[in-house]
Amino acid sequence: MNTIKRNFTLIEILVAVAILVIMMGFLLQFTGGAQRVWAANTARTEMSAQADAIFSLIKEDLEHIYIVEEDEDLDAQSGWYCRHESAYFGSSSSGSLQDLCFFTQATDGIENYTPGSGRSLIYGVRYHFAQATGDMGEGKGKLYRFETDEATWDRISDLELDSNGMPTKSISINGASVNAQSPEWYCVKPSDKSGAAADADEEYLVADNIKSIQIFSDAAVKEDNTAYDKAFIPFAPKYIRVNVFSVPVNLRNGAATTEDTDRTFSRVFLVKK
């Protein structure tokens, strides 16, 4: 008995192809959306981990901050230093951080310090943010942390403040006269030292791929509720708030970012004296 083999018609083939294309479109749309979600979560996790590392390091230093105010019964005086780009702390809260400097101390405190021993229980810490410029530098800023490796009590002892509350003492560092109103008073960057290469700072890199950093504190507000417009702050802070602005990895080195694409991480540190 002969059987008749029936082939698909052209219309049936076209319908099958159309259904296949539609199904593939749905599948690609689903996998594309999943990839975007995965990429966004990965970028968010990366930025969050980097911000946590920055906060952890700053917290450890601030927990042992050493500030001597005028009314304390010590033959010493010290404050802390915070400078934002283009202006001082109080008048440029929207600008990005350039330097955050203060003295901190080892956990066993100054009572065990022996003058002339070369051992430093109080040492200067300097956080320096190198701001990337231009749209192509969005999200490519770098944060460095430096600390002194020598005794620094002589930078604090006998420090005097003028009528404006600004320190008047200067000392010689690397053969140059450094005033207490500068970040070099707390710590000199390796790249600032005589004959040092510009890349000498890279060993002290804390984090990169940052858009900007902002610092806020109660100590930057005077009793009359006006901003303290100096980089050197002679008042001990009760709190310091740090904002870290990051950019997703897929937007770095590209066009200027916006508030919709930036990610902001904030942490408040209570300072104990």
* Mean pLDDT computed over 38-51: 81
pLDDT per position as a tens digit, 152-197: 777 777 677 777 767 788 877 767 788 878 888 888 888 877 666 6
CB 180 within 8 A of CB 170: yes
Pairing of strands 97-105, 122-130: antiparallel
Show the tokens assigned to 215. Answer: 């610092």
Locate the domains of the chain by residue range.
32-270
Q: How many CB atoms lie within 10 A of CB 139?
A: 24
- Min mean pLDDT across 5-14, 146-155, 237-246, 251-260 is at 251-260
- Full DSSP string of 57-98: HHHHHHTTB----TTSSSSB---EEEEETTEETTT-TTSPEE
Say yes or no to pLDDT of 70 above 80: no
DSSP structure string for 146-208: EE--S--HHHHBT--B-TTS-B--EEEETTEEEETTSGGGT---GGGSTT--GGGGGGGEEEE
pLDDT digit string (tens) for 81-123?
A: 888 765 444 444 456 788 999 988 765 545 555 555 544 578 8
Task: Give percent of the chain with pLDDT exceeding 90.
Answer: 10
Matching residue, tokens 């101390």:
105
The residue that leads in pLDDT, 77 or 168, is: 168
Model pLDDT, residue 265: 92
pLDDT reported for residue 168 = 80
Are 241 and 267 in contact by the 8 Å Cβ rule? The answer is yes
Structural tokens at position 2: 């002969």
Q: Are 213 and 244 in contact (CB under 8 A)?
A: yes
DSSP-derived pairing of the beta strands 232-233 and 263-270: unpaired
Q: What is the mean pLDDT of residues 229-246?
A: 85
Q: For position 82, what pLDDT does the model report?
A: 86
